[in-house]
Structure 1
Amino acid sequence: MGWLRKEAPALLLLAALGLAPFAGFGEGYILTLLARAMILAMAAVSLSFIVGGAGLVSLGHAAMLGFGAYAVVILDDLQVVDAMVVLPVAMLAAAGFALVTGAIAIRTSGVHFIMITLAFGQMAFFTASSLSGYGGDDGYTLYARSEVNGTRILSDRLVFHFVCLGALTASWLLCHMLLASRFGRVLRAVRGNPMRAQALGFSPYPYRLTAYVIAGAIGGAAGFLFANATEFVAPAYISWQRSGELLFMVILGGLSGLHGALIGALGFVLLEEWLAHQWEHWRMIFGVLLILAVLFLPHGLAGLPAQLGRMLRRG
């Protein structure tokens, strides 16, 4: 019951996303927006897994998304479009990048880790920009979504909505189970006191690296979906600004659990979209609102109900 109460916000949110197409939100534009929000929520959950679980604050996580997206592009150029091939390649590409870069970055901590992940992310960004065969800075247009067993079923917006929802749910459950396992307990112990964990016989490095690679693989899967959702891939997907947005989604939702990443990502995307339709200079308001959220919501949006409850009890 304790687990159910704690994760109720995530379960309710996932259920609401499942019912959305049948509750007046089945228009093409809205389904596209929700798909984008769920894909970014998937990437945010994987980032929350290493930030909250292992204490690894990465400012290069968008590179995992970008590796997954560019795997779709490269295979599309080679006329390989079957999702059963493309998706595993996208995940392996992102996981491989995470393994290579994480092997170096995880030897550091704190600000040094943040800066090294930022540097690796920017290296990936400039590499993508130099790929003239795949559009360079202008990006690469996919003229159709990936096939599934020879069919274009992902082109159906409703089907794609539930594919994204299924992928988000699976990612959240996987990360949740890992954090609740012995592996997750060691990760939290290492995050809290690395020297004490090492004294107990647990080497922090392999646990952190494994978590980093898992987060990379999930980010690669999100990149595969993002490329199919937009049918366009550009180096901007890998920029440090995108990494900053993902990190802010995690902080906005709250670091108390993975459900915070879900809430933060969906809240971020929907608020951004709403403000963009209200005013030409919406980014000014958006920035102020995000600053206020950080200042007055110490536990993020996920902690808002409890915070309001405490305020009401005080009078």
Structure 2
Amino acid sequence: MTMRPDALTLRRRLIRDGLPMLLLAVAPLAAMAVDAGWLVPVFTRMAVFALAAMALHFILSIGGMVSLGHAAFFAIGGYVVGIGSQHAYDETPAPLGLPGWNDMLISLPAAFAVGALIAVPFGWLSLRTRGAYFIMITLALAQMIFYLLVSLRAYGGEDGISMWWGRNTLAGLEMSDRLALHAVCLVILALAWWVLSRMTAAPFGWVLDGARQNEARMRALGYRPLAYQIGAFALSGGIVAVAGALMANVDEFVSPGLGHWTVSGELLVIVILGGLGSLSGAVWGALVLLGLEEVLMEFTQHWAVIMGPLLVVIVLFARGGVGGFLDRLNMGKRHDDA
């Protein structure tokens, strides 16, 4: 019996896009049910890194922008939370004479705004080049932010800010409950997926994709690709900053390490591991990479030695990432049903 094409497409999307979200929603509940509540922050961390990787996926897949500088925005978001929270606790004025803030309704939009604003000049400078030069400029700019954060002695310098007074609240509600914080991260992840999916399918995404393939042709058609590319880079930077703000609440700690280039590399690995065919690939990549890390760390402190070859095997045998593998698996089922 042959399934209708629309039904096949729906099944593929449910498996590829819906299943990882469902896993992230159910896994913490299952962990609590079996008295393994310590695993909840692990799944929350997966959701946060999936959010950051999804923002990087957006500019990489349709814009062709391979950035090694997104750790800078991750750290910026974390410091928006840490600095605001510290001044709220100390009851001292924050930078620019602003009062301290300790509510996610303030810190998350502020993280997005600051991340996006800083991403604009970053994007403008980086997009003057292409290929390896683009990668190196984004890396250099991120390292500049990293050393700037190290120099902030008022906020701990290399040691960072320990938020021992607790996490941000949400509309006055405490976020000390791990499941509540996980739910917030999951809702924001789903919202980001919806927004970025709509933008990918909108004329904005078409122009970015057209510029990636043939920028001169897009200019001949009357578009200004650079403006679209900077806009996409700013949106991506803002979302990654929100992820950094959430991570600060998960760890109750921020440090310049959030902005180290290795974090950018980890986000890039997540994107590649999950596959570039769909935004949900970033979620699959985060589940696989961070899940493997957690499992291997239970067995050996030299887990990275095992992780490297495992990633190579996964990439070799799951061409197109996890998302591509699931699509091929689904197509195989389609032929079996025919």
Query: Cα deviation per residue 1:36-63 (whole Å; 9 max; x = unaligned)?
Result: 0100000000000000021100001111
Secondary structure of the 1:55 match is: coil
Whether the 8 Å CA contact 1:7–1:259 is kept in 2: the answer is no
Task: Determine the structure 1 residue equivalent to 2:27.
Answer: 20
Secondary structure of the 1:149 match is: coil
2:168 to 134, 141, 146: 146
Task: Determine the structure 2 residue equivalent to 1:227.
Answer: 248
- Does residue 58 in structure 1 map to residue 63 in structure 2? no
Whether the 8 Å CA contact 2:273–2:322 is kept in 1: the answer is yes
Unaligned stretches of 5+ residues in structure 2 = 1-5, 89-100
| Amino acid in the other structure paired with 2:157 | G
| Amino acid in the other structure paired with 1:53 | I
Task: Determine the structure 1 residue equivalent to 2:130.
Answer: 109
| Amino acid in the other structure paired with 1:157 | R
Task: Determine the structure 2 residue equivalent to 1:124.
Answer: 145
1:69 Cα deviation (Å)? 0.3
Whether the 8 Å CA contact 2:27–2:43 is kept in 1: the answer is no
Query: Hey, what's the Cα distance between the residues in 1 that align with 2:314 and 2:142?
Result: 27
**Greater Rg, structure 1 or structure 2?**
2
| TM-score, normalised relative to structure 2 | 0.88
Task: Determine the structure 2 residue equivalent to 1:255.
Answer: 276
Unaligned stretches of 5+ residues in structure 1 = none
Whether the 8 Å CA contact 2:31–2:40 is kept in 1: the answer is no
Whether the 8 Å CA contact 1:67–1:90 is kept in 2: the answer is yes
Query: Hey, what's the Cα distance between the residues in 2 that align with 1:3 and 1:176?
Result: 16
Whether the 8 Å CA contact 2:284–2:322 is kept in 1: the answer is yes
Task: Determine the structure 2 residue equivalent to 1:68.
Answer: 77
Task: Determine the structure 2 residue equivalent to 1:164.
Answer: 185
1:161 Cα deviation (Å)? 1.2
1:16 Cα deviation (Å)? 2.5
Query: Hey, what's the Cα distance between the residues in 1 that align with 2:325 and 2:261?
Result: 29
1:7 to 13, 18, 27: 13
Query: Hey, what's the Cα distance between the residues in 2 that align with 1:224 and 1:271?
Result: 24
Number of residue pairs matched?
312
1:197 Cα deviation (Å)? 1.4
Task: Determine the structure 2 residue equivalent to 1:29.
Answer: 38
Q: Out of 284-293 and 224-233, give the one that drifted further.
A: 284-293
Task: Determine the structure 1 residue equivalent to 2:98.
Answer: none
1:198 Cα deviation (Å)? 1.4
Whether the 8 Å CA contact 2:86–2:163 is kept in 1: the answer is no
Query: Hey, what's the Cα distance between the residues in 2 that align with 1:66 and 1:4?
Result: 37
| Amino acid in the other structure paired with 1:146 | N
Q: Sequence identity, in percent?
A: 40
Whether the 8 Å CA contact 2:72–2:260 is kept in 1: the answer is yes
Q: CA RMSD in A?
A: 1.9
- Does residue 269 in structure 1 map to residue 257 in structure 2? no
